[in-house]
Amino acid sequence: MTESKISRPKEAKNKRYMLVRYGRMENIGWFEHYQTTIDKVNPKVIVKTDRGLEIGEIVGPACYKAGNFKFNAEQVNQYYTDSEIENPCRTGGKFLRYATNEDIDEKRHLDKIAREELEFCRELVKTKELDMEVVDIEHVFGGERIIFYFLAEGRIDFRELVKEIAQQYQTRIEMRQIGSRDEAKLFGDVETCGRECCCKRFLKLLKPVNMRMAKLQKATLDPAKISGYCGRLKCCLRYEDKTYTELKKKMPRKDTIVKTEQGSGKVIGGQILTQLVMIETEEGSRIGVPIDEIDIISTPQRKKKKQSSPKQNGNNNQSDNEKEKDEQNEDKQDGAAEEENDS
């Protein structure tokens, strides 16, 4: 079927924007278009980005009305802000047309060629004895450039490598260093939960995950069980961290003296999710009481920090804000040193 025979929606007078996922790293961007309707059957499109001509896929083709995405850019940005995830949406470029069968065939052909280009690059790396591992390749649809993704411990001088590859394929060559999390995006499969890796399926940009989150959620600290495909702490530990942190603030500290219907006692533990406080009564028995059914009589005093100077610590009484900061620091002291940063 030729492109001229494909029925196309009529163009509108006003500019509209569509969300398109494109590229090997599945970037998401806003693309200008003038279509009055969005094809829900064929979401593949040809777009123009800063890298050249690319083939992409419309995000949520059923979420458009009169050619407009149901949520504007501000609402999408607010969604990512509320989710505490860095917004992956960027200014993509322009929508050119819907992808045809010929375009899809051409994409398959380029993918096949890319495998050969990848092997050629790996052989050169081996010949030049460069301390890097080329893990994947992306051949931009329009042929403007070839992007190689590689892993390395530090900076690599690959200028001679790029020159030889460019001479071989007569196009622009780009070498992009990635980390273990990016590698998981490219090759991640099914995780221990039985579903595809989050970073590959929908998560694009993540904030750091640390051991404090695992300890707070009472998860096993076995590295083999809390580490993901990338070898780092699982991204899902962050999903419920905010809820756990807020619930923990409501729990009384250990050794707090409380009063209940069963009598007075001392706090020896608790369950964050169920909001149950474990209390040891004066008689020596242990009971679990909902946090709403206890009255705090006294709280244990915290160890005072060394004062650096009289001016800075002229007041011996801590303010509420200072106490809260101390409590947060106490919670984070175990995990802060083990924090894992995104690559």
According to DSSP, the residues that pair with 90 across neighbouring strands are: 29
For 91-126, write each residue's pLDDT tens digit.
Answer: 778 999 999 999 999 999 999 999 999 999 999 999
Q: Where in the chain is the domain with CATH 2.30.30.60?
A: 251-300
| DSSP structural state of residue 147 | E
Q: How far is CA 74 from CA 21, 35, 68, 71, 311, in A?
A: 19, 21, 14, 8, 46
CATH topology classification for 105-178:
GMP Synthetase; Chain A, domain 3 (3.30.300)
Round to whole Å and give the CA distance between 219 and 19: 37
For 134-188, write each residue's pLDDT tens digit.
Answer: 999 999 998 889 999 999 988 889 999 999 999 999 999 999 998 877 888 788 7
Q: Where in the chain is the domain with CATH 3.30.300?
A: 105-178
Asked if residue 255 lies in contact with residue 230, where contact means CB atoms within 8 angstroms, the answer is no
- Rounded average pLDDT per 10-residue block, the chain, 343 residues: 42 72 86 84 90 90 81 78 70 88 92 92 93 92 92 89 93 90 81 84 76 84 84 87 91 90 89 90 88 88 58 42 47 42 38
Q: Is 265 exposed, middle or buried (0-12, 13-18, 19+ CB in 10 A)?
A: buried
Asked if residue 258 lies in contact with residue 264, where contact means CB atoms within 8 angstroms, the answer is yes
CA proximity to 136, closest of 153, 123, 126, 122: 122
Q: Does domain 251-300 have CATH number 2.30.30.60?
A: yes
Round to whole Å and give the CA distance between 181 and 105: 31
Q: What is the pLDDT of residue 145?
A: 92
Residues 6+ apart with CB under 8 A from 152: 131, 132, 133, 177
Round to whole Å and give the CA distance between 146 and 124: 16
Strands (DSSP E) contained in 152-231 are 172-177
The encoded tokens of residue 309 equal 């100077």
The encoded tokens of residue 104 equal 């899809």
Asked if residue 262 lies in contact with residue 281, where contact means CB atoms within 8 angstroms, the answer is yes
Q: What is the pLDDT of residue 49?
A: 92
DSSP string, 40-107: SS--EEEEEETTEEEEEEES-TTSEETTEESS-HHHHHHHHHHTT----EEEEEEEEEE--HHHHHHH
Q: What is the pLDDT of residue 34?
A: 83
Q: How far is CA 139 from CA 57, 97, 172, 174, 281, in A?
A: 17, 20, 10, 10, 69
Asked if residue 147 lies in contact with residue 140, where contact means CB atoms within 8 angstroms, the answer is yes
Residues 6+ apart with CB under 8 A from 314: none
Residue 28: phi and psi, rounded to 5, are -120, 130
Q: Any long-range contacts for 161-168 (C-beta under 8 Å, 24+ apart)?
A: 161/121, 161/124, 161/125, 161/128, 161/130, 164/124, 165/117, 165/120, 165/121, 165/124, 168/120
Q: What is the pLDDT of residue 85?
A: 65
Q: What is the pLDDT of residue 134?
A: 93
